[in-house]
């Protein structure tokens, strides 16, 4: 972590929530005592209206709170949000709200004494203010480090039983969590997200069915980081580009050969990353993308990739390809070296001719 112990912060948050409930209970007891010392309206119609309003108001409030929670679950992260919605605290809260909604209706059928009206008002008071620690917990749980590891294990478990659809769903949950943390600039969680991502890609590197999802996550997250932090963008992109020997990583090499859709998608996203990184003057990331796409172009015999790189900035691309890719082949396959050199020459000639015309 970056200077902060997330587990310690999480524990402090839980202690704060518990103390909130304790304070609310004390305030509620005081509220009940104060109500009992205040005179009740002599108009029975007004008292019945109060009871009816309490029941309707609590029912509406409960509906709004859980509607928002369910929408959050769908939009933000269904895996994590469900952990809060299905928790014991939620069940207790629903029971208390149920009592607060039902008791006024029962009281309306009998003579509404001062004690019963005050009791109903006190329960309603507690229901409303008990939502504060509950919503705090909901917000804190979204950032809980414990759920990250749990989600990671769900991904591995789904892969172990070859449930690729479920694994893809969990990976999408992880992606949404990660993108949200990038969006809100939650830098404290970036290292943890990256560590889990690297663990996932290493352990599941042979799971060819997940390659499209892996590439989609890698490029989306890299593209999000490239607008904020080159270092993290580079670290994510490194998980699916070149290895330490300047060779394509096995998943990328196999996907480029076996799955044309994955190949096209990866090239398209990588070109977008290069364009954004280049304009933001992220030179290290820009060079890595160019080198990786150059390797792919040679592997697939796809000169169009070089053309598209040239369209973004031909001078930068020429320098990277000549100084890095070509030199890496001098001690290897001379035919590949000659092929790339010929491509660059053809593109230069074509561009010169177009300018002349």
How high is the pLDDT of residue 2?
37
Q: Looking at per-residue confidence, does 319 or 149 come out higher?
A: 319
- pLDDT attached to residue 48: 84
Comparing 78 with 310, the larger pLDDT belongs to 310
Q: What percent of the chain has pLDDT above 90?
A: 5
Q: Higher model confidence: residue 278 or residue 11?
A: 278
357: pLDDT strictly greater than 60: no
pLDDT band for position 347 (50/70/90)? Answer: low
Per-residue pLDDT tens digits for 60-89: 998 888 787 777 665 555 555 555 566 677
Mean pLDDT of all residues belonging to the chain:
76
For residue 39, the model assigns a pLDDT of 81
pLDDT at 1: 34
Q: What is the pLDDT of residue 284?
A: 84
Q: What's the mean pLDDT in 247-265? A: 74
pLDDT at 299: 77
pLDDT of residue 4: 41
Quote the pLDDT of residue 136: 74
Highest mean pLDDT among 32-41, 99-108, 281-290, 303-312: 99-108
Would the pLDDT of 332 be above 80? no
Residues belonging to the chain:
357
Residue 204 has pLDDT above 70, yes or no: yes
pLDDT in tens, 286-305: 888 888 888 788 778 787 88
- Residues paired with 242 in a beta bridge: 248
Please give the pLDDT value at position 5: 47
Would you state the pLDDT for residue 124? Answer: 92
Closest CA to 145 of 18, 8, 239: 8
More confident residue, 208 or 101: 101
- For residue 308, is pLDDT > 60? yes
More confident residue, 284 or 227: 284
CA distances from 25 to 19, 35, 92, 125, 147 (A): 10, 15, 15, 10, 30
The pLDDT score that the predictor gives to residue 80 is 53
Q: Is the pLDDT of residue 94 over 80?
A: yes
Q: Give pLDDT, residue 294.
A: 80
CA distance 48 to 51: 5
pLDDT over threshold 60, residue 325: no
Among 203, 244, 198, 189, residue whose Cα is nearest residue 217: 198
């Amino acid at each position: 972590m970056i200077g902060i112990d997330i587990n310690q912060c999480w524990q402090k948050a839980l202690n704060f929530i518990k103390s909130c409930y304790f304070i609310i209970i004390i305030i509620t007891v005081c509220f009940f005592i104060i109500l009992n010392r205040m005179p009740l309206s002599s108009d029975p119609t007004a008292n019945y209206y109060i009871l009816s309003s309490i029941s309707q108001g609590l029912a509406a409030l409960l509906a709004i709170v859980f509607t928002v929670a369910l929408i959050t679950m769908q939009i933000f992260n269904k895996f994590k949000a469900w952990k809060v919605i299905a928790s014991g605290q939620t069940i207790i809260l629903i029971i208390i709200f149920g009592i607060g909604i039902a008791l006024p209706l029962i009281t309306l059928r009998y003579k509404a004494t001062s004690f019963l009206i005050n009791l109903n008002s006190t329960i309603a008071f507690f229901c409303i203010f008990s939502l504060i620690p509950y919503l705090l917990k909901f917000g804190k749980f979204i950032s809980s480090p414990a759920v990250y590891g749990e989600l990671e294990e769900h991904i591995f478990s789904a892969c172990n039983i070859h449930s690729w659809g479920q694994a893809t769903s969990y990976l999408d949950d992880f992606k949404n969590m990660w993108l949200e943390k990038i969006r809100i600039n939650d830098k404290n969680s970036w290292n943890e997200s990256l560590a889990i991502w690297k663990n996932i890609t290493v352990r599941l590197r042979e799971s060819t069915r997940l390659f499209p999802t892996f590439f989609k996550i890698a490029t989306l997250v890299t593209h999000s980081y490239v607008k904020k932090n080159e270092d993290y963008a580079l670290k994510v992109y490194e998980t699916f580009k070149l290895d330490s020997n300047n060779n394509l990583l096995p998943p990328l090499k196999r996907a480029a050969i076996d799955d044309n859709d994955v190949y096209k998608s990866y090239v398209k996203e990588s070109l977008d990353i290069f364009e954004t990184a280049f304009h933001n003057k992220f030179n290290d990331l820009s060079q890595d993308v160019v080198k990786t796409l150059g390797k792919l172009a040679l592997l697939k015999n796809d000169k169009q990739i070089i053309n598209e790189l040239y369209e973004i900035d031909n001078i930068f691309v020429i320098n990277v390809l000549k100084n890095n890719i070509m030199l890496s082949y001098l001690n290897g396959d001379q035919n590949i070296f000659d092929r790339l050199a010929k491509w660059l020459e053809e593109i230069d000639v074509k561009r010169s001719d177009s300018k002349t015309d």
